[in-house]
Amino acid sequence: MGEVNKFRKRRAGEVDEGPQTTEFLTIVVNGQMFGIPVLQVQDVLRQQSVTRVPLAPPEVAGALNLRGRIVTAINVRCRLGLPDMDEGTKTMSVVVEHEHELYSLIIDKVGDVLSMKNEDFESVPPTLDPAWRDIANGIFRLENQLMVVVDVARLLRHSVH
């Protein structure tokens, strides 16, 4: 049946582009791999100096200056209810854009860019940790672990509203 549909699409002038894929920047928080759609990533930074913001929610680590723009820094560990990293441990940041504002997501480390087939995308399993489920769009099953796809809007929802 699949071949018949491909033939019909070709006859109708539609192009069959093969399996559709989405690229994700992988990040690691507390040993868990997460994926952020590459199209949402503006920059990747080494540990930055952050200025605390009085009366900000606990997950708002502060603000930083990125090429003249003020960027809100979000501690993803805190947002997920995880303990802070040991003092002196280097962190990294992924800068994302949400509603025309930049946010720096402070994470443990940055991994690779993975190109994933959209057909392999799965909904969020009910057994996933509730804190992760709260920020997840879905998952991809990799050879030896899950990649939780981050919904940036949901991650920032409590931090900036």
Above 50 in pLDDT, residue 1?
no
CB atoms within 10 A of CB 20: 9
Mention every residue, 6+ apart, whose C-beta is less than 8 A from residue 59.
Answer: 74, 75, 76, 78, 79, 158, 159
Among 3-12, 23-32, 55-64, 65-74, name the one with the lowest average pLDDT.
3-12
Per domain, the residue ranges of the chain are 23-160
Above 80 in pLDDT, residue 9?
no
- Residue 77 identity: R
Which pLDDT tens digit goes with each residue over 36-92? 999 999 999 998 889 999 999 999 999 999 999 999 999 999 999 999 888 778 999
Question: Which pLDDT score, from 0 to 100, does residue 2 have?
Answer: 47
Q: Which of 112, 111, 119 is nearest to 140 (CA)?
A: 119
Q: Which two tokens stand for residue 94?
A: 């992924």
Above 90 in pLDDT, residue 5?
no
Burial class (CB in 10 A: 0-12, 13-18, 19+), 160: middle
The edge-to-edge listing of strands for the beta sheet with 69-75 is 41-46, 92-98, 101-107, 69-75, 60-66
Alpha carbon distance 141, 127 (integer Å):
14
Above 50 in pLDDT, residue 7?
no
Above 90 in pLDDT, residue 23?
yes
Q: Which of 59, 41, 61 is nearest to 51 (CA)?
A: 61
What are the C-alpha distances in Å from 47 to residues 92, 95, 98, 106? 5, 12, 21, 8
23-160 homologous superfamily: CheA-289, Domain 4 (2.40.50.180)
Q: What is the DSSP letter of 66?
A: E
Question: Which pLDDT score, from 0 to 100, does residue 157 have?
Answer: 86
Which pLDDT tens digit goes with each residue over 106-144? 999 999 999 999 999 999 999 988 989 999 999 999 999
